[in-house]
Amino acid sequence: MNRIVLMIVDPIIEHYMHTLARRSDHPVLDEMEAFALEKSFPIVGRLVGISLEIYAKMIGARRVFEFGSGYGYSAYWFGRAVGPGGQVVCTDSNPLNREQAEQYLAAAGLWERVRFCTGYAQDIFGQTDGNFDICYNDADKGGYPDIWLMARERIRSGGLYIADNVLWHGWVAVEDSADAKPDWTKAIREHNRLILTDPEFDAFINPTRDGVIVARRKMA
């Protein structure tokens, strides 16, 4: 089988969009991005980060749950959006990521809005009470269908489910691609199908970077 490499966004367009989004409101953002570049850590990046903040502000989000927070880059954007008194529940299996997130997000003045739990995100979600304005999924891709099924139950009317990497290098669209993790591709396809056929949600895929799905729970 061929290993097919697909460009989701033409690099020239991607570059143009980045030039427009270069401005940083806080030096910590640049530090977080530099760290990702140096360590090849898969953060969502500037273009998706900006969109997360805007989606959250558009629905007046005050409480967000993140499945897979890394060292807090996506939480930086949600933290800005939820405002003082808002809460971003972060989860990550690696305790070192929590330490690093604390340093970055405290420097940005956002740590007070964050509750960062170390462990398996799905378990932490089960142990956390209440509903959310946004559930954001960026955990290991094999768990995507199950995370959707648990998260959808606890998103308020008009709230959002957002997941990153739903086009997965384009492999979801190519049946016989010899991708690095075929089980993950299969899981993402199932995840996307479940969401797009769910009668209680309106959903679309924004083909920015690696694809971001946004699903809004219909109003009762």
Ligand X SMILES: C[S@@+](CC[C@H](N)C(=O)[O-])C[C@H]1O[C@@H](n2cnc3c(N)ncnc32)[C@H](O)[C@@H]1O
Residue 4: Cβ within 10 Å count? 14
By CB under 6 A, tell whether 69 contacts ligand X. yes
Q: Is 25 left (phi over 0), alpha (psi -120 to 50) or beta?
A: alpha
What minimum distance in Å lies between the beta carbon of 163 and ligand X?
10
By CB under 6 A, tell whether 79 contacts ligand X. no
What minimum distance in Å lies between the beta carbon of 60 and ligand X?
22
By CB under 6 A, tell whether 92 contacts ligand X. yes
Instruction: Count CA atoms closer than 13 A to 117's CA, side-chain side.
Output: 17
Instruction: Count CA atoms closer than 13 A to 218's CA, side-chain side.
Output: 8
Contacts of 34 (CB under 8 A, 6+ apart): none
Residues 37-66 within binding reach of ligand X (CB under 6 A):
42-44
How many binding residues for ligand X (CB under 6 A)? 20
Length reported for the chain? 220
In the bound state with ligand X, the residue whose beta carbon lies nearer, of 14 and 140, is 140
By CB under 6 A, tell whether 211 contacts ligand X. no
What minimum distance in Å lies between the beta carbon of 115 and ligand X?
14
Q: Which of 27, 83, 93, 130 binds ligand X (CB under 6 A)?
A: 93
Residue with tokens 């142990």: 127
Instruction: Count CA atoms closer than 13 A to 165's CA, side-chain side.
Output: 19
By CB under 6 A, tell whether 213 contacts ligand X. no
Closest CA to 125 of 97, 100, 106, 153: 153
By CB under 6 A, tell whether 70 contacts ligand X. yes
Residue 120: Cβ within 10 Å count? 15
By CB under 6 A, tell whether 94 contacts ligand X. yes
In the bound state with ligand X, the residue whose beta carbon lies nearer, of 67 and 175, is 67
Q: Which of 4, 47, 50, 120 binds ligand X (CB under 6 A)?
A: 120
Q: Note the residues at the interface with ligand X (CB under 6 A).
A: 42-44, 68-70, 73-74, 91-94, 97, 120-122, 138-140, 143
